[in-house]
Amino acid sequence: MAYLTINNLHKRFDDHVVVHDFNMSIEQGEFVTFLGPSGCGKTTVLRMIAGFETPTSGHIRVGGEDITHQSPQKRGIGMVFQSYALFPNMNVTQNIGFGLKMRKCDGAEIARKVAEVIKLVELSGKENHYPHELSGGQRQRVALARALVVEPRILLLDEPLSALDARIRKNLREQIRDIQRRLGLTTIFVTHDQEEALTMSDRIFVMNQGRVEQEGRAEMVYTEPATEFVARFMGNYNLLGAAETQRLLGLNINGHMAIRPESIHVLDAHSQQADTLAGTIRQHQLLGNIIRYQIESAGVTLQVDRLNRTASDLMPAGTEVRLQISRDDMREVR
Amino acid sequence: MPTSPDSVTHCPPEAGQARKRLAPSALNWLGVVPFFLFALLFLILPTATLMIGAFQDANGHFTLGNIAKLFDDSILSAYWISFEVSAASALGGSLIGLLLALAAIQGGLPAWIRPTLMTFSGVASNFAGIPLSFAFLSTLGRMGLVTVLLRNYADFDLYSTGFSILSFIGLTLTYLYFQIPLMVLIVTPAIDGLRAEWREACESLGGSSVAYWWHIALPILWPSILGSTLLLFANAFGAVATAYALTGSSLNIVPILLYAQIRGDVLHDQNLGYALALGMIVVTGLSNAGYIWLRSRAERGRE
Ligand SMILES: Nc1ncnc2c1ncn2[C@@H]1O[C@H](COP(=O)(O)OP(=O)(O)OP(=O)(O)O)[C@@H](O)[C@H]1O
Ligand SMILES: [Mg+2]
**Do A34 and A196 form a contact (C-beta atoms < 8 A)?**
no
| Mean predicted confidence (pLDDT) in A175-192 | 92
User: For chain B, what are the domain ranges?
Assistant: 4-64, 66-302
Q: What is the pLDDT of residue B12?
A: 45
Q: Which of B197, B215, B300 is facing A81, going by the closest CB pair?
A: B197
In ligand 1, the atom with minimum distance to the C-alpha of A41 is: 18
| Mean predicted confidence (pLDDT) in A69-96 | 93
Which of A203, A205, A84 is CA-nearest to residue A141? A84
Which of B150, B146, B174 is CA-nearest to residue B247? B174
The pLDDT tens digits of the residues spanning B120-167 come to: 888 888 877 677 777 877 888 888 888 888 888 888 888 888 777 777
- Kindly state if the Cβ of A15 falls inside 6 Å of ligand 1: no
Q: Which of A86, A88, A103 is facing B206, going by the closest CB pair?
A: A103
To test the pocket of ligand 1, the residue of A20, A43, A53, A209 to mutate (highest count of ligand atoms within 8 Å of its CB) is: A43
Which listed CATH number (1.10.3720.10, 3.40.1500.10, 3.40.30.10, 1.10.1200.30) goes with B66-302? 1.10.3720.10
**Do A19 and A210 form a contact (C-beta atoms < 8 A)?**
yes
Strands A186-191 and A31-35: parallel
Task: Identify residue B202 by its one-letter amino acid code.
Answer: C
**Dihedral (C-alpha) B33, B37, B38, B42: value to the nearest 10 degrees?**
170
The pLDDT tens digits of the residues spanning A27-77 come to: 999 999 999 999 999 999 999 999 999 999 999 999 989 999 999 999 999
pLDDT band at B24 (very low <50, low <70, confident <90, very high): low
Q: Does the beta-carbon distance from B301 to A132 stay under 8 Å?
A: yes
* Sign of the four-CA dihedral B142, B146, B148, B151: negative
**Dihedral (C-alpha) A25, A26, A32, A38: value to the nearest 10 degrees?**
20
How close are the terminal C-alpha atoms of chain B, in Å?
Answer: 37
Starting from the CA of residue A11, give the closest ligand: 1
SS3 content of chain A, % helix, strand, coil (to 5): 30, 35, 35
The pLDDT tens digits of the residues spanning A262-278 come to: 889 998 888 888 888 88
What's the CA gap between A81 and A131, in Å, rounded? 14
Q: Is the pLDDT of residue B80 over 70?
A: yes
pLDDT band at B295 (very low <50, low <70, confident <90, very high): confident
pLDDT band at B11 (very low <50, low <70, confident <90, very high): very low
The residue whose CA is least distant from atom 27 of ligand 1 is A38
Residue of B nearest to A130 (CA): B301
The SS3 call for residue A130 is coil
Q: Among B43-57, B96-110, B174-188, where is mean pLDDT lowest?
A: B43-57
Q: Is the pLDDT of residue B191 over 60?
A: yes
Please report, rounded to a whole number, the percentage of residues in chain B having pLDDT higher than 90: 19
Q: Is the pLDDT of residue B21 over 60?
A: no
Instruction: Please enumerate in sequence order all residues whose Cβ is within 8 A of that of B133, keeping only pairs 6 or more positions apart, or say none.
Output: B174, B242, B245, B246
- Kindly state if the Cβ of A191 falls inside 6 Å of ligand 1: no
Starting from the CA of residue A37, give the closest ligand: 1
Residue of A nearest to B203 (CA): A73
**Dihedral (C-alpha) A77, A80, A86, A91: value to the nearest 10 degrees?**
80
**Dihedral (C-alpha) B98, B103, B105, B107: value to the nearest 10 degrees?**
150
What's the CA gap between A229 and A236, in Å, rounded? 12
- Angstrom CA distances, A86 to A101, A121, A136, B45, B220, stand at 16, 16, 11, 49, 12
Q: Does the beta-carbon distance from B301 to A86 stay under 8 Å?
A: no
Compute the mean pLDDT over every residue in chain A, rounded to the nearest whole number.
Answer: 91
